[in-house]
């Protein structure tokens, strides 16, 4: 399956797969801050660079833009700052510790110092262990990308003024998943 099809399929099922807090954040307008002089509000600079790298591994830049171009790290920072509860914030901090601990145990280096293949291996290990923090970052990366203006215009079908409502029509008649 190619990346474009995988993202479209993910987007189709996104409503069933994301947590209530992430859904609430999206519905309340959580989006990436596009200011050129952006600085993280919740994360420190090092954490933001790590989360940016993780999001780029989850949704890499290929022939289409990836998480980096969609400013997913900014979406995640905004979510953590404005929409997450204290438990989510604490889980994020614990996740960052587990990420670094596993990187040092397995490779004797911090996550940032690893080659991308080793970083991917660390992330896969955490996903395989069903690490709650890794699952949340994965969820937020996909949500941040799929709800970004960039994905709406370059990955999904986008029409700023859609036509009439038609329910229950075959997907092949409309050409794909439409962005809102």
* Tens of pLDDT, residue by residue, the chain (180 residues): 455 555 544 544 444 455 555 555 454 455 566 677 889 999 999 999 999 999 999 999 998 899 999 999 999 999 899 888 999 999 999 999 999 999 999 999 999 999 999 999 999 999 999 999 999 999 999 989 988 888 888 887 766 666 666 666 677 776 766 665
Question: Measured in whole angstroms, how far is the alpha carbon of residue 40 from the centre of its chain?
Answer: 16
Helix spans in the chain (H): 3-17, 20-27, 45-58, 72-82, 86-107, 116-128, 132-146, 149-154, 171-174
| pTM given for the model | 0.74
């Amino acid at each position: 399956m190619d990346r474009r099809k995988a993202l479209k399929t993910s987007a189709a099922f996104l409503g069933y797969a994301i947590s209530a807090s992430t859904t609430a954040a999206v519905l309340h307008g959580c989006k990436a801050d596009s200011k050129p002089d952006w600085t993280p509000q919740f994360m420190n600079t090092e954490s933001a660079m790590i989360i940016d790298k993780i999001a780029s591994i989850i949704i890499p830049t290929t022939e289409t833009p990836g998480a980096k171009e969609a400013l997913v790290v900014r979406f995640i920072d905004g979510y953590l700052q404005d929409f997450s509860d204290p438990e989510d914030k604490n889980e994020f901090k614990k996740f960052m510790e587990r990420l670094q601990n596993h990187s040092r145990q397995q490779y004797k280096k911090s996550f940032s110092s690893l080659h991308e293949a080793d970083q991917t291996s660390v992330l896969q290990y955490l996903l395989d262990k069903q690490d709650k923090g890794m699952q949340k970052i994965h969820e937020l990366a996909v949500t941040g990308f799929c709800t970004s203006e960039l994905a709406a215009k370059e990955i999904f079908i986008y029409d700023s003024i859609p036509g009439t409502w038609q329910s229950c029509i075959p997907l092949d008649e409309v050409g794909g998943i439409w962005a809102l």
